[in-house]
Structure 1
Amino acid sequence: MTQATIALNYVEFKVTNIARSKAFYQKFGWTFTDYGEQYCEFNDGHLKGGFALAETIQVQGGILLVLYSQNIEQAQQIIQQAGGAITQDIYDFPGGRRFHFQDPDGYELAVWSDKN
């Protein structure tokens, strides 16, 4: 019997305001497909996911999603201009550089780059 391959395929965020999440992530170049008032799918060009409307959300202690950018300084500037909060400034790590930020719902994400 061949072992099944299991791969990350879709990421879903519970959010309190879909329009606000779309406005924030649109600054990254993401596109959106609305499925009613309760759900919106996003596409970053590499991975699809969704925003599911929720009255309350829990953002602490979850998985850290790490995004990639060829220009980390520009990515940090875009995130700040979009209203994201930098929680850990750019730092070096084996393989590249990265920083962490919070989106409007308080989710912490990171951006990394292998470019100097």
Structure 2
Amino acid sequence: MAFSKNHSFLFMLFPILLILVTMSFASAGLLPFSAKHVEDKGVISLGPGDSFDFRFRVNLLKTTVYTCSFAWPGNTATFDIFRADRDDNPRSKVGVCSECIWSIYEPAPCRDRRDGGQPNCFQWAS
């Protein structure tokens, strides 16, 4: 009788643990196809303070890249607004973002931090 009760307990405990572990890995960006939301502030076709966003899933090989072009009077620049190796990698210097919020400035594109700290700014690709 004790075996039956223990077996039922383990049967219920295992799915709960599996869900918790999966959620932990997903939030840390360790699972393939993890959902992402990118918000890009300052897209050139929008007015100041407006934003543009899109949603996607990172591919299985974690090689997903989205590149955007930006233009100002007399200047154009491109930047990888999402790179799996940078934005979905817990070991990158800027960490994983499930909601990647960018502020685009002519001197540099900057990924805002959720904790309100200093944003992470990058050099333009071109």
Structure-2-length-normalised TM-score? 0.25
Q: Which structure has the larger Rg? A: 2
If each structure's helix is expressed as a fraction of its own residues, which one has the higher value? Answer: 2
Structure-1-length-normalised TM-score? 0.26
